[in-house]
Structure 1
């Protein structure tokens, strides 16, 4: 299993945990079990880390592209 597959598996599990916990909360079980709270917290944290990573990677890619285009336009051909 590659690292990318592992990250995808962890992300899918965290989505499942958060969805399951949210569904149970909406169904009226006001106090979910402690392992479910732990799973929801861990899942939410993993989703937050993945979201921040994707956002920072896209910002860095955008800045690199801008810097590259600026250097290409200023360089004499």
Structure 2
């Protein structure tokens, strides 16, 4: 439950942070590329669309593990 609550908090704050970095503008541009692409490039654009989320989740897991290791002792 604690992990879920921390994840929800980070994603709420993180969405504002992503808006500050104008990731939404980048994702709108990628979404238009997805609509116009065909074949293998569609897969590449879907991966590019998900990269900020994958990066944010990886950062969250890294931060969580660092906090857990830091306060374990």
Using structure 2 for the length normalisation, give the TM-score. Answer: 0.44
Using structure 1 for the length normalisation, give the TM-score. Answer: 0.42
Larger Rg: 1
